[in-house]
């Protein structure tokens, strides 16, 4: 006798009570959520230890951010700055800090594994199945 394939219900899960399963349990989802939380906390701690550098004006201004988002330093190349145009120095600081911030955000996104496929270890279909 051939083995029967479990009947699928809307949402793609085998019918509950049949061999092959049913929707994941809330306990299973809670366990996955806790694992994800631990992963995110570890990645956040690792990111906090890093620094991110941004430059502007061909190196006239260099800004360094900590992985926590705190500004660590801003350095100026005096030879590249025009003392008669202080607004330009301010604009260069903003550009350098923004570049460092973007680099930090990119690193944070990559480190936690977020991308088009979503969070690691979380099957969004599991949640859709529970919600109907």
The domains of the chain, with CATH numbers, are 52-112 (3.30.1310.10)
Decide: pTM greater than 0.85: no
More confident residue, 13 or 113: 113
Task: Say how far apart CA 105 and CA 111 lie, in whole Å.
Answer: 10
Question: DSSP assignment of 40-79, as one string?
Answer: HHHHHHHHHT-EEEEEETTTTEEEEEETTS-EEEEEE-GG
Give strand pairing partners of 48: none
The answer to whether 76 touches 91, Cβ cutoff 8 Å, is no
pLDDT in tens, 4-20: 665 555 555 555 555 55
pLDDT in tens, 92-105: 999 999 999 999 99
Q: What percent of the chain has pLDDT over 90?
A: 38
Task: Say how far apart CA 47 and CA 34 lie, in whole Å.
Answer: 20
């Amino acid at each position: 006798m051939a083995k029967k394939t479990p009947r699928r219900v809307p949402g793609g899960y085998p019918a509950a009570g049949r061999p092959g399963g049913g929707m994941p349990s809330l306990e299973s989802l809670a366990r996955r959520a806790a694992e994800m939380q631990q992963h995110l906390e570890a990645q956040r701690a690792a990111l906090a230890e890093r620094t991110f550098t941004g430059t502007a004006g061909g190196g006239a201004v260099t800004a360094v951010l900590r992985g926590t988002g705190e500004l660590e330093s801003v350095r100026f190349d005096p030879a590249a700055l025009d003392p008669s145009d202080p607004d330009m120095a301010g604009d260069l600081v903003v550009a350098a800090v923004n570049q460092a911030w973007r680099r930090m955000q990119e690193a944070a996104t990559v480190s936690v594994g977020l991308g088009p496929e979503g969070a690691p270890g979380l099957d969004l279909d599991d949640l859709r199945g529970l919600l109907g």
